[in-house]
A and B are shown apart, each in its own frame.
Chain A
Amino acid sequence: EVQLVESGGGLVQPGGSLRLSCAASGFTFSSYWMSWVRQAPGKGLEWVANIKQDGSEKYYVDSVKGRFTISRDNAKNSLYLQMNSLRAEDTAVYYCARESTMIVDLFDYWGQGTLVTVSS
């Protein structure tokens, strides 16, 4: 069974940093592109970043470029999102999502999410 479990969310002040983790199991993690998708409270879904199987390619939505860094450790079956210079508008539930092996940018499995709140 595919499982994605996020952790690392919490309350942080504006300008602060947070590192999110996603532990993957039930599939060959190193064979898949992986993404982070976020959802502000009461709002819709926004793709944030993704990373290729070997970590050689990374892409970001414009609003987080230069502040967020996506990474992965295939030996640990883990995905990460380092978030720096956090802003109030980054407040959201952050989901780890697996991309379909056949179709990049199609999200076939999602974790339950971790809440990040940026507030003073």
Chain B
Amino acid sequence: EIVMTQSPATLSVSPGERATLSCRASQSVSSNLAWYQQKPGQAPRLLIYGASTRATGIPARFSGSGSGTEFTLTISSLQSEDFAVYYCQQYNNWPPHFGGGTKVEIK
């Protein structure tokens, strides 16, 4: 099974600043990597798939990059509604696995 490791566990950022989140896979997942956003008490929402393709309705300030084992989610200018937990997930190998999450909090 592929293990997904996210860092940092918590990221403190001021509104308007850039946030960079990392996700590492224990073996190559090609570009079969997704990012989800989860706000307290809510279901996860798909942000990015294929490592860099934004899902329907996702603002352009969210961007994804990487391939193989190293991936990055960048939020270019944090808005108040972006403070949440972000999860990466690989779907290259069965079973699908999620990372442990990165909490983006207000600095």
Categorize the interface residue count of chain A.
10 to 19
Who on chain A is nearest to B90 by CB?
A: A105
From known contacts A45-B87, A112-B42, infer whether A106 and B98 are also in contact, taking CB-CB under 8 Å: no
Binary contact track A76-120/B, C-beta < 8 Å → 1, others 0: 000000000000000000010000100111111111110000000
Q: Which residues of B contact A100 (CB under 8 A)?
A: 49
Query: Whole-angstrom distance from the CB of A101 to the nearest CB of chain B?
Result: 12
A26-82 residues with Cβ-Cβ distance < 8 A to B are 44-47, 59, 61
From known contacts A45-B87, A103-B91, infer whether A108 and B98 are also in contact, taking CB-CB under 8 Å: no
Contact of A105 with B96 in the complex, beta carbons under 8 Å: yes
Contact of B95 with A47 in the complex, beta carbons under 8 Å: yes
Contact of A108 with B94 in the complex, beta carbons under 8 Å: no
Q: Which residues of B contact A45 (CB under 8 A)?
A: 36, 44, 87, 89, 98, 101
Q: Interface residues, chain A, CB within 8 Å of chain B?
A: 44-47, 59, 61, 95, 100, 103-113
Other A-B pairs beyond A106-B91, A112-B42, 9, CB < 8 Å:
A45-B98, A61-B95, A103-B32, A105-B91, A106-B49, A106-B89, A107-B46, A108-B46, A110-B44
